[in-house]
Amino acid sequence: MQKNLVVPGRKKPYVMAHRGNQALCPENTIASFQQAIHDGADILETDLQISADGVFMCIHDSTLDRTTNASGLVSDYPLEKLKTFSAWNHRQGFEKETIPTLEELAAILPPDVALALELKTDAFLNEDIANQLIQALQTYGVLNRCLVISFSKARVLTIHRLAPDIPAGLITMSGLRPDPDMQIVGPFWPLLFLNPFYMKRAKRQEQIVCPLDPAPEPRLWFYQRIKVDAVLTDNPQITCKKIRKYENN
């Protein structure tokens, strides 16, 4: 993928599936990722926590309480125990879903779909942990189509400094200018309305722009007009259809 975030065979704006398709399936499950792939998503986004025995787990919260039938910190349990919990997120018919490992997600990733990893813990500031992640991505064969994102600039830069080919992205709730140290910027969507020059500055800095807007449909016309590079969505099925409709008009 490299710095310019090109997904071979895919047209911009890329559709980034936020925790898979969490509108139709429990978030961050194999079911949600497979649904997003079926929907036509260009990038699968997930969150990384780390188990007690050092396994990279695809789960948003640091605790198990909200999305599983268990409680406590993800980091307190080894993989074997985590795999006994259901990641159904109170959705009937998904009781057999478990918390996926990064390896399991990589195994179902089509060769023309990229992977966005949100680093959810300061453990990624540790260079040993960061190197373990980089090595895992290399082993799984997805290093060249992977990017790291976070609300923490320090976390993504730790990875990017060790592996410059992995683009680093910063998610921001404030600030009217894109951070020049980042390859990817994810501004909270109102910022693009408040500063009409945001996109111009980002393009001048050769940055990829993906607004923080998991329900983007009412603003797709605007994103198409200003030519964002990617759109985030909780429901890639609807977003993909609407983007195709705009393209055909």
* Whole-number Å distance between alpha carbons of 70 and 222: 41
50: nearest Cα among 153, 139, 122, 111: 122
* Residue 18 a catalytic site member: yes
- Report the alpha-carbon distance of residue 86 to residue 98 in Å, rounded: 5
| Active-site choice (38, 60, 90, 160) | 60
Catalytic residue among 18, 38, 90, 160: 18
HEC string for 149-191: EECCHHHHHHHHHHCCCCCEEEEECCCCCCCCCCCEEEEECHH
Q: What residues form DSSP beta bridges with 118? A: 47, 149
Q: Does the annotation count 38 as an active-site position? A: no
Write the CB contacts of 63 (distance below 8 Å, at least 6 apart in sequence): 71, 72, 73, 74
Strands (E), 52-91: 56-58
Token pair 């047209």 in the structure block, residue: 11
HSE-CB at 189 with a 13 A cutoff on CA atoms is 18
In one-letter notation, the amino acid at residue 139 is T
Contact assessment for residue 49 and residue 64, using Cβ atoms and an 8 Å cutoff: no
Q: Any idea which residues carry the catalytic annotation?
A: 18, 60
